[in-house]
Structure 1
Amino acid sequence: MTNLEGLIQYGSSLLAIIALIWKRDGMKKYIPVGLFASFYANLWCYIAIYFNLWGYHDHKVLPLIRDVSVPVNVIVVPIMAMFWVRYCPLRFKEKLLWAFSWTSILTAVEVFIERTTNILAYHGSYHWYHSYLLWFFTWFIWLAFHLWLNDWKREFDGFF
């Protein structure tokens, strides 16, 4: 594992945990979304490995686990889901812009990681735009899960 790969894996986990600690007030009710997001991410990783869509070549955080990205699926994705659902705007047009913004940033980071490191590798006919679509629809699946748990009610929490 190179320094860049270690920084990406450990740094992203550390940043996610720091963000959660910083905005911890009111996050308790979003824990089920985080758990669901972790399950959902792990499920997609298993599907991707099975169908050879992507793979993890240099995964040294937990060497025995080769089919999921532990830092991402267990730490980063659940915390991102909690933040996304908590601060998601109420209006549909703003939700779409919110989802496009988050999706664009995450896909750009994912493409950078895939092209410059050995952490992630796309296989076969899987490309960055497939990840873009997967991320985009995933945000709304997580939001729908949260709303379903809360009888389709939610309150809005300002980001700042």
Structure 2
Amino acid sequence: MAIEKWIQYGSMAAAILMFMIKRKGMKKYIPVGFFASYYANIWCFLAMNFNWWNFPTRIFDKPDDISWPVNFVVVPIMAMFWVRYIPRGLGRQISWAFLLTTLLTGFEYLAERYTGLIKYHNGYDWYYSYILWFFSWFVWYW
């Protein structure tokens, strides 16, 4: 099995494990997860139409415009955790958003550069993902 498949299955397993460990009280955040999945799919649809990025290696062949592990498992669980555990105070929220955005964009940059999980096109680069991730935290919360 290629490293790309291991990363996809591993990220899903890690997200599901985190959810299972902290599942108590998460039921009321399920709508946040659904919204985050929908939101991620809209961005992937736009990205495919404008040819900003694509996913050369996927678990499922169709549809080819989304990353199943990210859009349907990882992002919804991250959004649920964010909304549930977000700190009080705008300054702390912004600090945490910067930290999480930096970690996620760093992973995405490495994945784009060294694997076939995601490929950027048409001038799209990691800093656009940084902006998108950063504002997504607050879209999911507000």
TM above 0.5: yes
| Deviation at residue 127 of structure 1 after TM alignment | 0.6
Gaps spanning 5+ residues in structure 1: where? 145-160
> d(CA) in 2 for partners of 1:138 and 1:64?
26
SS of alignment partner, residue 44 of structure 1: helix
Q: 1:1-160 alignment to 2 at 5 Å?
A: 2=2, 4-59=3-58, 61-144=59-142
Q: How much has 1:119 moved relative to structure 2?
A: 1.2
Bigger-Rg structure (1/2): 1
d(CA) in 2 for partners of 1:64 and 1:24? 31
Q: Which amino acid in 2 is paired with 1:31?
A: I
CA deviation map 1:52-109 (0-9, x unaligned)? 00011111x1112200000100000000000111111111110000100110000000
Please give the alpha-carbon distance, in whole angstroms, between the structure 1 residues aligned to 2:21 and 2:103.
Answer: 21
Other-structure match for 1:158: none
CA-based RMSD of the aligned residues comes to 0.8
Distance 1:52 1:25 in 2: 40
TM-score by length of 1: 0.87
- Aligned equivalents of 1:129 and 1:26: distance in 2? 35
Q: Distance in 2 between matches of 1:115 and 1:133?
A: 19
Q: Which runs of 5+ in 2 are unaligned?
A: none
Which consecutive segments of 4 or more residues in structure 1 shift more than 6 A? none
Shift of 1:6: 1.4
CA–CA distance in structure 1, aligned partners of residues 30 and 73 of structure 2: 12
Count, aligned residues: 142
Q: Matched residue of 2:25: which SS? A: coil
Judge conservation of contact 2:5–2:57 (CA < 8 Å) in 1.
Answer: no
TM-score, length of structure 2 as denominator length: 0.98
Q: Percent identity?
A: 52
